[in-house]
Amino acid sequence: MAAMSQHDLIIVGAGSGGYACALRAAELGLRPVLVEEDLVGGTCLHRGCIPTKAVLHAAEIADAARDSTRFGVHATLERVDLGEVRNYADSVVGRLHKGLTGLIKSRSIEVVRGRGALETGPDAVEGQPTRPPMRRVRVGEQILQAPYVVLATGSSPRSLPGLEIDGTRVLTSDHALRLTELPTSAIVLGGGVIGVEFASAWRSFGVEVTVVEALPRLVPNEEPEISQALQRAFRRRGIKTLIGKPMESVRVDESVTVSVSGGTEVSADILLVAVGRAPDRTVRVDERLQTEIEGVYAVGDLVPGLQLAHRGFAHGIFVAEEIASLRDGTPSPTPVLDQSIPRVTYSDPEIAAVGLGEAAARERYGDIETFTYELAGNGRSQILGTQGFVKVVRRANGPVLGIHLIGARVGELVGEAQLITNWEAYPQEVAGLIHAHPTQSEALGEAHLALAGKPLHVHG
Ligand SMILES: Cc1cc2nc3c(=O)[nH]c(=O)nc-3n(C[C@H](O)[C@H](O)[C@H](O)COP(=O)(O)OP(=O)(O)OC[C@H]3O[C@@H](n4cnc5c(N)ncnc54)[C@H](O)[C@@H]3O)c2cc1C
Ligand SMILES: NC(=O)c1ccc[n+]([C@@H]2O[C@H](COP(=O)([O-])OP(=O)(O)OC[C@H]3O[C@@H](n4cnc5c(N)ncnc54)[C@H](O)[C@@H]3O)[C@@H](O)[C@H]2O)c1
């Protein structure tokens, strides 16, 4: 006999989008229930952002040891033990998971363990005098009922036709994070975010890496100059690239051989397939993240667009506030726009961006202006020994529309970059702000000083 349970909203999936929605909903006095078939925290915490960045931090330490003599410090890199790197990453994940579990408990949020399915048949909706009508989610034998449902089931790795992921030689990022021994060589299929982050970490650990990318450049969603700078940096680091070469076939025996268009073949111990992630269903949402079914919302990777944890957080918070406002008549929240969301790729060098790229800005506004400030002129970047630049895109005589960065640690600059673009600051306003010396944030200051017509450390 199915049990009935009454809540204000049922959230299916407790990843970044789902748990953020639950936390905010509870804060607003709603009674959410979270349905999760695995661990709260989802992809980002267990198989994504956190473990990969822990591995990339270990990679940075390996590089620091290897390159130490450049700074007059004679350290030697004896070996990298991937099992121990994994233990370190697991310990970080474990602490954060414990913290999150405690947070969910402290807000008295019920968590139902199991696979949730929204009932969409005719008897799923009970005739109710109020709107929206009650919705039902089945979890095994249990039926949960609430006027609002939030779908937050995320995405999983895509594969390609004819490509069998065996978890041993042909891996997704999930498998790659569970490796305990380093391969001698690896092919990374896909030069997007996951591809370049793994390529970067593995190279730092001494692996021979080849990245195969179908489009004409790495990180094709970034500015073309950023792709070029990354390609140059990868070349210097000994990472091989086959760019503009879609994979044609894969042969697996005692190694993996990938054939790309034009007949080139490359072999390695393992192949990481990083050709994007897809949700397990297609949902269409309006600007307020409501699906075609009244009272049913979707958040996070399930919603077409950027697949980022902080977008999931923002979606989750938005939907909780939206539901509270529909229920209580409180002010409705502002929709989340992908254009306002900062993105960071944690490869070496790092890439960070927010707002419009040059081409998109030109298409939208016609007359635009750009300025690129090289990190060669930035003291802190010179101390770190990094190359790169800050590119600012502004509307002609207007506000800043986008900021794009590459270089060591530039991810930390994206906070200021997003304040500038999201507050639609003018270069002269940013130029009036004093940046501490010597910091990399000065590069942002310098770019805006130049755009405001008063360049400081700029040659020519
Ligand atoms: C290797 C890697 C690195 C990444 N690095 C970053 C990064 O550095 N920064 C960043 O911003 N983003 C990063 N991402 C992306 C980020 O992980 C996702 O954007 C984010 O996790 C999406 O959150 P979500 O809530 O939509 O889905 P998820 O986090 O995938 O959560 C969905 C949850 O739903 C559960 N679920 C699914 N179906 C059901 C069901 N029917 N019933 C019950 N439960 C269900 C799943 O078990 C899962 O826990 C990375 C992703 C990967 C793979
Ligand atoms: N730092 C971060 O924020 C971070 C880190 C990792 C993942 N993520 C998110 O996870 C999502 C998935 O990442 P991803 O790197 O798998 O996807 P992606 O879309 O970023 O990159 C996939 C790449 O694979 C290429 N590709 C597709 N088919 C190919 C083929 N047949 N042969 C060769 N190349 C091919 C594409 O052109 C593309 O460049 C991204 O949307 C990203 O936002 C974010």
DSSP collapsed to 3 states, 65-95: HHCHHHHCCCCCCCCCCHHHHHHHHHHHHHH
pLDDT at residue 358 is higher than 60: yes
Q: Is the pLDDT of residue 2 over 80?
A: no
Tokens 């490869």 map to which residue? 347
Q: Which atom of ligand 1 is nearest to the CA of 115?
A: 42
Tens of pLDDT, residue by residue over 13-29, are 999 999 999 999 999 99
pLDDT at 184: 98
Q: Which residue's CA is the closest to the ligand 2 atom numbered 7?
A: 194
Helices (H) and strands (E) in the chain, counts: 13, 24
pLDDT of residue 330: 86
Q: Does 125 score more than 70 pLDDT?
A: no
pLDDT at 4: 53
**DSSP summary character for residue 109:** -
Residue closest via CA to ligand 1's atom 23 equals 16
Burial class (CB in 10 A: 0-12, 13-18, 19+), 133: middle
CA-proximal residue: ligand 2, atom 28 (nearest): 275
CA 216 to chain centre: 22
d(CA 91, CA 384): 29
How far, in Å, is the centroid of ligand 2 from the Cα of 214? 11
Does 312 have pLDDT greater than 90? yes
Which ligand lies nearest the alpha carbon of 13? 1
Q: What is the pLDDT of residue 130?
A: 59
Residue 340 has pLDDT above 50, yes or no: yes
Residue 126 pLDDT class (50, 70, 90 cuts): low
pLDDT at 123 over 70: no
Q: What is the mean pLDDT of residues 262-275?
A: 96
Arithmetic mean of pLDDT, 220-230: 98
Tokens 């044609």, located at residue: 248
Question: Are the C-beta atoms of residues 296 and 179 closer than 8 Å to each other?
Answer: no
pLDDT at 459: 81
Q: What is the pLDDT of residue 460?
A: 74
Would you say the CB of residue 18 lies under 6 angstroms from ligand 1? yes
Supply the residue whose CA is at minimum distance from atom 42 of ligand 2.
Answer: 307
* Residues in the annotated binding site for FAD: 53, 116, 153-155, 301
**C-beta 14 within 6 A of ligand 1:** yes
At 221 the pLDDT is: 97
Which atom number of ligand 1 is nearest to the Cα of residue 114? 43
Please work out whether the CB of residue 307 comes within 6 Å of at least one atom of ligand 1.
Answer: yes
Residue 121's pLDDT band, with cuts at 50, 70 and 90, is: confident
Atom of ligand 2 nearest to the CA of 215: 37
Q: How far apart are CA 353 and CA 223, in angstroms?
A: 9
What are the residue numbers of the active site? 437
Q: Which residues line ligand 2 (CB under 6 A)?
A: 160, 189-195, 197, 212-215, 220, 246-247, 274-277, 307-308, 343-346
For ligand 1, say whether the CB of 192 is within 6 Å of any of its atoms. Answer: no
* Matching fold, domains 3-156+279-338 and 349-451: no
Contact criterion met (CB below 8 Å) for 422 and 350: no
Nearest Cα residue to atom 51 of ligand 1: 48
Whether 227 contacts 406, CB under 8 Å: no
Closest C-alpha to 241, from 275, 270, 216, 262: 216
Q: ∠224-230-233 over CA atoms, to 5°? A: 145
Provide the strand spans (E) within 218-349. Answer: 240-243, 247-252, 256-260, 265-268, 270-273, 277-278, 296-298, 343-345
Q: Which of 21, 49, 149, 315 to mutate to test the pocket of ligand 1 (most atoms within 8 A of CB)?
A: 49
What is the distance in A from the centroid of ligand 1 to the CA of 446? 37
Q: Which atom of ligand 2 is nearest to the CA of 260?
A: 32
Angle between helical axes of 193-204 and 224-236 (0-180°, round to 10): 20
- Strands 296-298 and 148-151, bridge-based pairing: parallel
Q: Which residues are annotated as a binding site?
A: 53, 116, 153-155, 190-197, 213, 276, 301
- Superfamily name with CATH number, domain 3-156+279-338: FAD/NAD(P)-binding domain (3.50.50.60)
User: What pLDDT score does 122 carry?
Assistant: 65
Q: Where are the domains of the chain?
A: 3-156+279-338, 159-275, 349-451
Give the list of residues 6+ apart from residue 73 with CB closer than 8 angstroms, or none. Answer: none
Residue 131, pLDDT > 70, answer: no
The pLDDT tens digits for 366-405 are 999 999 999 999 999 999 999 999 999 999 999 999 999 9
At 1, is the pLDDT very low, low, confident or very high (cuts 50, 70, 90)?
Answer: very low
pLDDT for the residue 360:
97
Ligand 2: nearest atom to the Cα of 212: 33
Ligand 2: which residue has its CA nearest to atom 27? 275
Domain 349-451 sits in CATH at 3.30.390.30
pLDDT tens readout for residues 80-118: 999 999 999 999 999 999 999 999 999 999 999 999 999
Question: For residue 218, which atom of ligand 2 is closest to its CA?
Answer: 39
Joined together, the tokens standing for residue 217 give 């450049």
Cβ atoms < 10 Å from Cβ of 454: 12
Whether the CB of 115 sits within 6 Å of ligand 1: yes
Residues 6+ apart with CB under 8 A from 334: 318
ipTM score for this prediction: 0.99
Q: Hey, whose CA ends up nearest to atom 13 of ligand 1?
A: 49
Ligand whose nearest atom lies closest to the CA of 161: 2
| CATH architecture of the domain with range 159-275 | 3-Layer(bba) Sandwich (3.50)
Q: Which ligand is nearest to the CA of 344?
A: 2
Cα(441) to ligand 1 centroid in Å equals 31
Ligand 1 pocket check for 174: Cβ under 6 Å: no
The answer, yes or no, to whether any atom of ligand 1 lies below 6 A from the CB of 12, is yes
